[in-house]
Chains A and B, each alone.
Chain A
Amino acid sequence: MALSGRRLRVIVAKPGLDGHDRGAKIIARALRDAGFEVVYTGLHQTPEMIAEAAVQEDADAVGLSILSGAHLTLFPAVIDELRRRGGGDIVVFGGGIIPESDVAPLRAAGVAGIFTPGATTQEIVDWVKTNVRPRGG
């Protein structure tokens, strides 16, 4: 982080209509406590809104949380919208109620990290440290 001269910036977002924000808020806070710059979008975001925020905020990564089962539709939609805005290199990771059989299709769609029930905040912080680099640096 020190090399780039700035802290990594992560957008934590809740796509879709699902209101379960306990996990997203805990992750946002844990990432902030770990020294990242965190922007939390709040609830009920469309993929367009999330991608727009990520590009505007010059984010290095986007963390998505969804517990309503709509991940197969909404995670890839966020990635598409990021690419459309020139943010295809922004690392996307996510978590929620994601059955094992959905993991491979999500990876194929470009979701770099997938966290399922029981994942600790430390695991997620470590993953971000390892897998996210400042963009365009």
Chain B
Amino acid sequence: MTTETLAMAAGVLLLTAVMQLWRRSVSGAITLLVVQGAALAGLAATLAAVDGDTELYLVAALVLLVKAGVLPAVLSRTATGTATSREDTPRVAPTTGLLLAAGLTTVAYLAAQPVAAARPAAAAQTVPVGIALVLIGFLILLTRRQAVSQLVGFIVLDNGIAAVALLAAGGVPLVVELGVMLDVVLVVLVLRVLAGRMMRAFGGSDLAELTELRD
């Protein structure tokens, strides 16, 4: 039962990441973030039920609140603030991006071998999903031109790291978890303000316009 739930949550995580890479709509990407956050919270709750760890329930609730609630809300406000609705000209064509995502999933599977070797628990076998999420988050970050899309990529990256933490180690100590979440929320808020300033200074939030500083 738990293996299936774990597999389902992991599958949803990966699927949402791939869809975010595929779709051009920014609001669609933010909605998928909500789904991703919910899947991550589900993952934490399943692991909490398996280990009987009450701290992990708290972490699951926190993840749900922050990753599926606060962060997507901030992002959608940023999207309206910078008048971004579609990612029209990504640096890499969606086809190539999708094929790269397939390649990155393979890489993630290979890279997760040390983890699987070290922790033979069932959860540890699903760690490649977390690492794939990290790599796909990187890909989204690198190939997007809109500021909000880069933010989405950053949050996907962070979701991936949280997934790895949950699957490989059953979560990190509560103090660290709280600190990390606080930091992520603050970074996103800071980037929101900067995106607003960019809108005022450049008249848009297209990052390809940032060419003033060069050697």
Q: Do A and B bind each other?
A: no
Using a CB–CB cutoff of 8 Å, the interface residues on chain A facing chain B are: none
